[in-house]
Structure 1
Amino acid sequence: MTSKPSTFFINRFVIAKGGKAVYDETFHRGVNIIRGANSVGKSTIMDFLFYSLGGDIAEDRWNEEAQTCDAVIAEIELNGNVLTIHREVEPGRKPPMSFYSGTYEQLCAANSVVTWQRYGINRTDEKLSFSQQLFELLGWPHSQTDDFANLTIHQILRLVFVDQGTPVNKILRAEHSTFDKPSMRQAIGDFLLGLDDLGIYALKQQLSKAESEFAKIDGQLDSIYKYVSPSEGVLRTASLNSAVENANKELKELLAQREALLVQPDDSTSDAALTIKAAQASQEIAELTNEIDIRTSKQAEMINEIVESELFIAAIESRIKALKESRAAYDFFGEVRFKFCPSCLSALTESSKEQCHLCKTELDKNSRAASYLAALNELAFQKKESTKVLVELRTKLSEHAHYLASTQRALQTAKSTHIAALRISSDRVFKLNEISAKIGAIEERISNYDTKTKLVSAVEGLIERKQKLNTTMLGLAEQINASKAQTSSRRESIESNLSEKTIELLKKDGGFEPAFNVAQTVMFDFGKDFMLVDGRSKFSASSETILKNSFHLAILLESLEDDSMRYPRLFLLDNTEDKGMGPDRSQNFQRVLVEALEVHDDKPYQVIMTTSMVDPSLDKSNLCVGPHYKKGMHTLNI
């Protein structure tokens, strides 16, 4: 867990166009209120703030005035360290950020001699990404989700910034569905609430590294095994040493035989002996040729089987994809209903939901779901079995190819022997030629053994490393599970505290929602992105707005009491009057927020909020930032 609280504050914010500031305001610690009539651009300022800190904004969220701006500049303070950041305005894109180590005033005074450090959205071999740099300055680890997706500053800001574009029944700022996974949402909540610590992150990093190395070694061994013929047995040092010893002994005997032949006189030999040898070689050639023909034909059959298996697996994958798409389409559109019979074009009568409106067959949703799962499981089983068969076929083909190559080499040797028997007239010369060929073959085999001895040494080292990694991964997995168990008590405490604080705030709502007056528990789930009050999630839109804002305020309040939380004590609120909120209720919440935070004025925090219905008692206070924007005015001085 963190040893000291994380703080992320905005001291000054500038929006530039054509080299001039069209918005320039200074923010203070505590509550900052941007107030004004509707449609004056308050949300534009908040979106720009979010963007300047590293947030991503969809292209359709940029209004016409914002798109004409060139850049945003923010003087920020991270854990007491002041720096100024600059980001170009590029709607629909994710431009880099530039960092200056100093205040905005120092930046202006430095003029053209400013040294900027530029950071992109992705990490390079030479430099961190801007998210990683901000994490470093905040003293945060570079966290990952359970499926190893990296947390970025954009994801962190989804819990810090409450905007108007997100449904009020959601905890986190809305994200494109492709990237908004439950694991990511849960990771954001756990990270900022300090529930992912107790060494779990470091253990996950070690496990990820071990798994990556294990997979790499596994791939290396697989490549080596493909290089070595399966018929050669298991690659082990002892077996290879024995083979080398036997080959050297055989070579020694052949060399002795050759020496004995070299000292013998060259007696003439009858043609009969050589004719017999030629006939034997011819017979061997015929047998080997026939065997090669048979094995070549068999090889073609095996290749055809592999191709058919690959096509069958591709067809299964296509059916699985189609089945999933069909289920998704049904879940989205529901049952297809016809107005007219597709056969006779007669008008169809309505039927109950439990019947097919076309053939009147009784329908059962559970039966449909069971049929879908059964079909999906059957296809998955077929794919698994077919893949298993395919692997076996490829292994057999590899063995077959090795054996065929060996047979072809034997055929070439037999042909050479046959030619020698026909051309050589001396049995002594023939034997010398035959022995020399054997010597050459053995020397080549010994050379191959030497190469494989080095390979075997590497293989055994890889196998030993793989076994150690496997033991390490099992140990790390056990430690992670044990650490997760230790976090359960802290999780219960945090959830209880947030529930109590949220209920306390809801009970100060002023009686607009009766259920809030008697609320007992508030439950929340970051992964599923919802909140419940006494098991209930549906309220009026304005009540859901109060619930959402109260929960986020409760997180800020808890962070002021719990230094183990990473929540940076920064709350950006652009949702005060969302969804039909009346003036009385909105102003009441503003007072509740200010009063709740006044208790913690001795601790650093920052709230930047917008309102079109500012409470009169707050309107002229030092909590307000900038002018009270009247109808017709605009926050951007364009």
Structure 2
Amino acid sequence: MTSKPSTFFINRFIIGKGGKAVYDETFHRGVNIIRGANSVGKSTIMDFLFSCLGGDIAEDRWNQEARLCDAVFAEIELDGHVLTIHRQIQPGRKPPMNFFDGSYDQLLALNSAAVWQSYGLNRTDEKLSFSQQIFELLNWPHSQTDDFANLTIHQILRLIYVDQGTAVNKILRAEHSQFDKPSMRQAIGDFLLGLDDLGIYALKQQLSKAESEFAKIDGQLDSIYRYVSPSEGVLREASLQTAIDNATHELKTLLGRREALLAQPEDANSTDELKAKAAQASQEIAYLTKEIDIRTAKQAEMVNEILESELFIAAIESRIKALKESRTAYDFFGEVRFKFCPSCLSALSDAGREKCHLCKTELDDKSREASYLAALNELMFQKKESTKVLVELRTKLSEHARYLTSNQRTLQTAKANHIAALRMSSDRVLQLNEVSANIGTIEERIKNLETKAQLVTAIEGLIKRKESLNSSMLDLNEKIKENKAKTSDRRELIESKISEKTVELLKMDGGFEPAFNNAKAVMFDFAKDFMLVDGRSKFSASSETVLKNSFHLAILLESLEDATMRYPRLYLLDNTEDKGMGPDRSQNFQRVLVGALSEYSAESYQVIMTTSMVDPVLDKSECCVGPHYAKGMHTLNL
């Protein structure tokens, strides 16, 4: 929720061509009316202003006169902070926005010494985008839609700027791109009306961060568990320490045994044990060699079976494709009929459409369709079963390969033991060799156990952090739920107030639309982009124009009373006489707008509007800016 009202005002607007200003106008707080005859370029000025403030304009919306210009400048005031922005005019592109910290007059005084800060459309690692920079200056959070699309200043201006190119029964300025989704339209409305706040955005950011860290820790624990052991006992520090103590004691015993053997004298006659050892290794080598030969042959058979299965599945897929293509061809061309027998080349008699003209079998569409489905089902079944067999074969081959690799390693060990037994000079040397091997094994086991003990210590810390994050996530979800309930109450209140204000404005329409005289409620939906008056949406085009403009005026009026709304108290209106609006009705709305806003301080809001049917009284008032453009004149001094 914002602590003070957001304000976005335009103090001065300049359009340049070749280094010279072709439009330069100063705007004041309150109501600003740009008036003149049709086709003098009022909408061009408004589109230029929209583009300068960060809006995107489709390439086909730039008219010939606009394309002659090359730059736009605007002195703006964001929450009281004055700065000047500048953009190049590049139809079809989205040029960066340049910021000068000061007024336009200060910019002119500095001339080439002025310091500009350039911001692009997208954020980089070093700099914000121009939308984010404007959001920062307005103290707005960088909001996202429910599907994580970022809100930009262009999207914000879609509710502030009412143009002529958008259908009058739509709330937001038309968007001809992939970003115009219901979630985006809802986010625009909720953001500017202050219905997405109440701390929810910050809470969601905290929740997202906690969930990310929780998932990271969960992954780390999963990796550690796979490395250490799935058993609970091994994961306990006490159990690991006991295992380390036992292994250390066993190592000491083996070291003592080795010292004793080294101290013994050499016995050249002690060869019986060596002979037995060599014989045992020889038998193991013979068994493993035979086993490996059998397994290798079996592996080759399995590889052949897999290749045959793959070829069979490929053949089935080819037949399925051919069958589908055949059906498609039949559906497109119909039955292929021969004039001559393809076997003996004799002329064929016509057997009618109910029989095959070649073999004279009774036919109908149902039997043909049934035959096609039966053939397709059979092929699909064969493919499914063959694929299942192929998966099983590949699994068996993988298991077989692992077993074969294990046997080959065991064979290498047996051969090494056999060679060692043949080369050893005595049983003492054999015993020393075995003791040394056991010592190496025990040392490796102790090293692994100590590594696991370190991991267990890390696990305990991760588990505590995971429990803490889980508790935080539960707490954040509960707070978000509570704030959503508060937001729901606020949504109902804001929507009710905007509806009431819109109804009051419609009743001052002057009786042009009878349904407006007794209107009870105006319902609106940003996501669906429509408005209803007492459940009715269809009116004349001019009445829908009054409804749309009154609704936007009601939002401005509500923002002047509710400081928690982010709507920046700026209303750009280029739709006063759209769709067949007559002078009387247009001038009445102008008076209604000025009258409704007269109850508030003119310093607290800004309206910039265009009209070709200005009210005579207003035409002579301080509301008007610039000359009254007569027929033949143009807003751009080209």
Partner of 1:422: 422
Partner of 1:61: 61
- Equivalent residues in 2 for 1:561-572, closer than 5 Å: 561-572=561-572
Partner of 1:197: 197
8 Å CA contact 1:75–1:82 kept in 2: the answer is yes
Partner of 1:136: 136
C-alpha distance in 1, partners of 2:94/2:191? 24
Q: 2:627 matched to 1:618?
A: no
Q: 1:634 to 1:3 in 2, by over 3 A?
A: same
Q: 1:341 to 1:194 in 2, by over 3 A?
A: same
Task: Tell me the CA shift for residue 153 of structure 1.
Answer: 1.7
Could you list the per-position Cα deviations for residues 38-68 of structure 1 after superposition, in whole angstroms to 9, with x for gaps in the alignment? 3322222112211211222233333333233
C-alpha distance in 2, partners of 1:97/1:169? 32
Paired amino acid for 2:215: A
Task: Tell me the CA shift for residue 498 of structure 1.
Answer: 0.6
Q: 1:543 to 1:157 in 2, by over 3 A?
A: same
C-alpha distance in 1, partners of 2:454/2:178? 49
Q: 1:395 to 1:457 in 2, by over 3 A?
A: farther
Q: 1:35 to 1:423 in 2, by over 3 A?
A: same
Q: 1:466 to 1:231 in 2, by over 3 A?
A: closer
Larger radius of gyration: 2
Task: Tell me the CA shift for residue 274 of structure 1.
Answer: 2.3
Could you list the per-position Cα deviations for residues 129-179 of structure 1 after superposition, in whole angstroms to 9, with x for gaps in the alignment? 222222222122222333333322222111111122222222112224521
Q: 2:490 matched to 1:490?
A: yes
Report the more deviating stretch, 190-199 or 214-223: 214-223
Q: 1:109 to 1:177 in 2, by over 3 A?
A: closer
Task: Tell me the CA shift for residue 486 of structure 1.
Answer: 1.4
Partner of 2:586: 586
Task: Tell me the CA shift for residue 4 of structure 1.
Answer: 1.6
Task: Tell me the CA shift for residue 620 of structure 1.
Answer: 3.0
8 Å CA contact 2:86–2:99 kept in 1: the answer is yes
Q: 1:36 to 1:70 in 2, by over 3 A?
A: same
8 Å CA contact 1:162–1:173 kept in 2: the answer is yes
Partner of 1:23: 23
C-alpha distance in 1, partners of 2:496/2:88? 42
Partner of 2:360: none
Q: 1:442 to 1:490 in 2, by over 3 A?
A: same
- Equivalent residues in 2 for 1:328-343, closer than 5 Å: 343=334
Please report the RMSD computed on the Cα atoms of aligned residues, expressed in angstroms: 3.8
C-alpha distance in 2, partners of 1:281/1:144? 72
8 Å CA contact 2:234–2:240 kept in 1: the answer is no
Task: Tell me the CA shift for residue 496 of structure 1.
Answer: 0.9
C-alpha distance in 1, partners of 2:418/2:65? 92
C-alpha distance in 1, partners of 2:96/2:448? 55
Question: SS state of the match for residue 604, structure 2?
Answer: coil
Q: 1:628 to 1:474 in 2, by over 3 A?
A: same
Report the more deviating stretch, 443-452 or 43-52: 443-452
Could you list the per-position Cα deviations for residues 480-504 of structure 1 after superposition, in whole angstroms to 9, with x for gaps in the alignment? 0111111222222111111111011
Report the more deviating stretch, 156-165 or 615-624: 615-624
Paired amino acid for 1:548: K
| Number of equivalenced pairs | 564
Task: Tell me the CA shift for residue 529 of structure 1.
Answer: 1.8
Partner of 1:373: none
Partner of 1:265: 265
Partner of 1:254: 254
Q: 2:79 matched to 1:79?
A: yes
Paired amino acid for 1:463: I
C-alpha distance in 2, partners of 1:496/1:446? 74
Task: Tell me the CA shift for residue 394 of structure 1.
Answer: 13
Partner of 1:518: 518
Partner of 1:604: 604
Task: Tell me the CA shift for residue 409 of structure 1.
Answer: 5.6
Partner of 1:457: 457
C-alpha distance in 2, partners of 1:589/1:266? 119
Task: Tell me the CA shift for residue 569 of structure 1.
Answer: 0.3
Could you list the per-position Cα deviations for residues 573-628 of structure 1 after superposition, in whole angstroms to 9, with x for gaps in the alignment? 11222223232222221221111111113551001111222222222322122222
Q: 2:125 matched to 1:122?
A: no
Q: Which runs of 5+ in 2 are unaligned?
A: 318-330, 337-364, 366-383
Question: SS state of the match for residue 158, structure 2?
Answer: helix
C-alpha distance in 2, partners of 1:4/1:623? 27
8 Å CA contact 2:523–2:532 kept in 1: the answer is yes
Q: 2:478 matched to 1:478?
A: yes
Q: 2:266 matched to 1:277?
A: no
Partner of 2:355: none
8 Å CA contact 1:236–1:460 kept in 2: the answer is no
TM-score (norm. length: structure 1): 0.79
Q: 1:138 to 1:342 in 2, by over 3 A?
A: same
Could you list the per-position Cα deviations for residues 51-106 of structure 1 after superposition, in whole angstroms to 9, with x for gaps in the alignment? 21122223333333323322211100111111111122233333222211111001
- Equivalent residues in 2 for 1:148-163, closer than 5 Å: 148-163=148-163
TM-score (norm. length: structure 2): 0.79
Could you list the per-position Cα deviations for residues 245-299 of structure 1 after superposition, in whole angstroms to 9, with x for gaps in the alignment? 343233223222212221222213465432322333345556667489969969x
Paired amino acid for 2:579: K
Give the fraction of aligned pairs with identical amino acids, expressed as a percent: 76
8 Å CA contact 1:244–1:446 kept in 2: the answer is yes
Report the more deviating stretch, 28-37 or 128-137: 128-137
Task: Tell me the CA shift for residue 223 of structure 1.
Answer: 5.0
Partner of 1:379: none
Partner of 1:629: 629
Could you list the per-position Cα deviations for residues 495-541 of structure 1 after superposition, in whole angstroms to 9, with x for gaps in the alignment? 11111110111112222222111211111111222211111222222
Task: Tell me the CA shift for residue 567 of structure 1.
Answer: 0.7
